[in-house]
Amino acid sequence: MPFETRFDPSADAYRHVPGLRGRLTPAEESGVRLTPEVLATWDARARALGRPADWRWSDEERERNRQEILGHLLPQRDIWVYSYGSLMWDPGLHFAEVRLGDLHGYQRRFTFKTSLGRGCPEHPALMLSLEAHGDCCCRGLVFRIAADMADAESQILWRREMIRGSYCPRLLPVDTPQGPVTAVVFTSNPCHGDYVGELPLPQTAAMIAKASGMLGSNRHYVEQLAEQLRCLQIEDGYIDQLVRQLP
């Protein structure tokens, strides 16, 4: 399965999913495009809240992880990034192409507790993750980052997704209507200290309804996700049930 396919660089990035045009936050306007300057601001906020110095992965830990996954591809190859949550409306990346993508053997679940981002110590939020589950199939989006931008853009992506090492990034096959690709996928890390597993749906909904933080409310995240899934005509029974359970 290819990591890279040659495309006309002048081609429309939205040609496969034209309905997404105007529905993605431009990279320059994204509040979660974690450049070094934005990360420094987050560090300052963490200190002001009394977080310990090791509240996040060190730059060295994060870069070592990125190189373990992508080092053999950079800088010669395009990379694909699979999205199933907030990257579906706010990728925070400069991309050359976007497609629908099916990831087999995984499902969306809110399985991580956090007092950062969309939560606080009094009312922690629940973060979305990808849980391995038998014959399930999770439909999302895959973004292609051109080879000449892949190194810089993947650094920004790793600062966002691996800020606390909550996920296990993998290279996995993703089926798209235009053919298979191999994409970076941020899957669940059950060994992480913030992992709580799948909670009963009423408890999940109650926690999400109360949580809010510097990135907004946990409830708004779920509503944005549900709306983007509807726009893309992606069915996800778990998310549909969760929205109905929100008080």
For the chain, give every domain's residue range: 18-245
pLDDT of residue 247: 87
pLDDT averages per 10-residue partition of the chain, 247 residues: 43 93 94 91 86 91 97 93 97 97 98 90 95 94 97 96 95 98 97 95 97 93 97 97 95
The b-or-e profile of 9-19 (16+ CB within 10 A means b, else e) is eeeebeebbee
Question: Read out DSSP for 177-225?
Answer: TT--EEEEEEEE-TTSTTB--PPPHHHHHHHHHH-EETTEEHHHHHHHH
Superfamily of domain 18-245: Gamma-glutamyl cyclotransferase-like (3.10.490.10)
What's the CA gap between 210 and 218, in Å, rounded? Answer: 8
pLDDT of residue 173: 98
pTM value? Answer: 0.92
pLDDT of residue 156: 96
Residue 23 · residue 98 · CB < 8 Å: no
pLDDT of residue 11: 73
- Residue 89: both structure tokens together: 């409306």
pLDDT of residue 2: 44
Helices assigned H by DSSP within 81-200: 147-161
Residue 241 CB contacts under 8 Å (≥ 6 apart), including other chains: 201
How wide is the angle at C-alpha 75 spanned by C-alphas 100 and 85, nearest 5°? 30
